[in-house]
Amino acid sequence: MNAPRARVARRPVHGVLLLDKPIGLSSNQALQKAKWLLRAEKAGHTGTLDPLATGVLPLCFGAATKFSQMHLDADKAYETTVRLGIKTSTADAEGDVLSERPVDVSQAKLDAVLQQFTGPIAQVPPMHSALKKDGKALYEYARAGIEVEREPRHVVIYALKQLPAPMDSARPAIKLVVECSKGTYIRTLGEDIGEALGCGAHLSALRRIRTGGFDANQCVSLEALEAMTEEQRLACLLPVEALLPQHVSVTLDSENAARFLSGMRRRGAWADAEQVAVYATMPKALLGTAQVKAGELIPVRLLSPLEISETLGQQQALEQSLKQSNETLALGA
């Protein structure tokens, strides 16, 4: 019998952790484990990955949760293996086999089909998805054996590239890199490619290699996190503003920063902009997001003074800890 997990003393933690989600865990399970390792009070993720999928899963802690919604709109990139000849109930390897068909696919036919699915396309969301209808997730209907009508969704496949892979006649499959817009269902794409090839298909592997400006090379695994000290785990966090790469930067002096934080508009010689990240100076700190219209800086989403203070304190404590570690290493050299 497993011993109960020890209770940990939670603390305010602020920042973004780029997690390489392992296979077999839901996004929420991975989030909760990372949250426990960091002893964080508040956390959320920026869009789910199926348990079958691995790869880039940005996790937001503390103040970063205020901006996690923005990252849901980010473009994505995936590596996937599409198993040909077998259609399943979930369009992936976890589902029941619905049909099997012979595979007779030439490279010319495959190239033509991949071209057909490049650019703007319409997808019918899979029944086994978290998309809601009448307040209920589609997968709940699916588990009850109910299929409901779903409206097609329009997405964009920016690039669909075949990777070299040995073709096993007993288990024919193709490996693809998919660069796509938000809301793209890779399982549906694989299944639709199989139908267009006339043999059916399902995903046997899926890895997200990029979301927005974050890619897999920047990620840390749960195993690596477990092996770290608390200071090393905190050092893995990106600052909150990592979620705002496309935002125009505006810096305010102390007086205007205080007024902005209280929700007041500021006037200045700024060009109109829909997405603005606003900072204070002395010390440099993110205050929140805004819009600029006709020379007015209009608050949109603000951090609280406590969140700003905790973020600065976290950074200072980490810098001090790393400095002490370096000094200890130098003395021992």
Tokens of 94: 């976890």
- DSSP for residue 216: G
CB 147 within 8 A of CB 110: no
- Burial degree of 6 (CB within 10 A; 0-12, 13-18, 19+): exposed
- Cα separation, 126 vs 190, in Å, equals 12
The distance in angstroms from the start CA to the end CA of the chain is: 46
Tokens of 302: 């603000």
- Cα separation, 68 vs 214, in Å, equals 14
User: Of the candidates 48, 63, 56, which has an alpha carbon nearest to the alpha carbon of residue 12?
Assistant: 63
Q: Respond yes or no: is residue 50 known to be catalytic.
A: yes
H or E element, residue 40: none
The rounded radius of gyration (Å) of the Cα atoms in the chain is 24
Tokens of 185: 């269902």
Determine which one of 50, 104, 134, 253 is catalytic. Answer: 50
Strand blocks (E) in the chain: 15-21, 43-45, 54-61, 76-84, 86-88, 97-100, 119-123, 132-133, 136-137, 153-163, 173-180, 201-211, 214-215, 248-252, 266-267, 273-280, 285-293, 296-302
Give the residue numbers annotated as catalytic, written as ranges. Answer: 50
